[in-house]
Amino acid sequence: MTVPFVLDTARLHLRRIDDGHLDDLVALDSDPAVMRFINGGSPTPRSLYEDTLLERMKAFGDQPFGYAAAYEEHRFVGWFHLRPSVADASVLELGYRLRRDAWGRGLATEGSRALVDYAFGELDRTCVDACTMPENAASIGVMKKCGMHYAGTFVHPRAGFEVVRYLVER
């Protein structure tokens, strides 16, 4: 059974990603600016979503966290995740990817703060972390606005490059 994962903020509605989000995810990743600090700017092939990525994003359906599509007034603007951290699987890791036309209005901060509050409240977690390329100033800005502080640098096991880790404790 799939566990609900739904959050509402002042401007955003978040709900668990499912098969119906394939087109939105492919379109989001087709913008080189969105992918700049993920893989250097390459669009993600649709076949990669069909073969592995969508299943990975749906993988936490039996948990009260995972990947959530974000809507602003019924329009898909991107996604957020709360998932076991690559740095420490006992901690939940925050992540986000928004369409370029949604940037610069505080939406990532708004969704992220709601997810951190949810992790500390409903999920009774004591720590949330996040990681990104050191050059990704926008992402680090969101982390800091969630109260996170720098907690080290490590080589991301899947990406294979160095990332900075930030975390916030309850």
Ligand X SMILES: CC(C)(COP(=O)(O)OP(=O)(O)OC[C@H]1O[C@@H](n2cnc3c(N)ncnc32)[C@H](O)[C@@H]1OP(=O)(O)O)[C@@H](O)C(=O)NCCC(=O)NCCS
Binding marks (x or -) toward ligand X, 14..53, rule CB under 6 A? --------------------x--x----------------
> Cβ(11)–Cβ(110) under 8 Å?
yes
Number of residues near ligand X (by CB under 6 A): 20
Give yes or no for residue 96 binding ligand X (CB under 6 A): yes
**Contacting ligand X (CB under 6 A), which of 106, 134, 147, 152?**
106
Specify the residue for token string 């930030």. 166
For 170, residues 6+ apart whose C-beta sits below 8 A from its C-beta are 120, 125, 126, 127
- Comparison of 5 and 79: residue with beta carbon closer to ligand X: 79
Stretches 40-48, 66-74, 101-109, 121-129: which one binds ligand X (CB under 6 A)? 101-109
Measure the CA angle with vertex 133, ends 116 and 26; round to 5°: 75
- Comparison of 16 and 97: residue with beta carbon closer to ligand X: 97
Q: Which H or E run contains 36?
A: helix 32-39
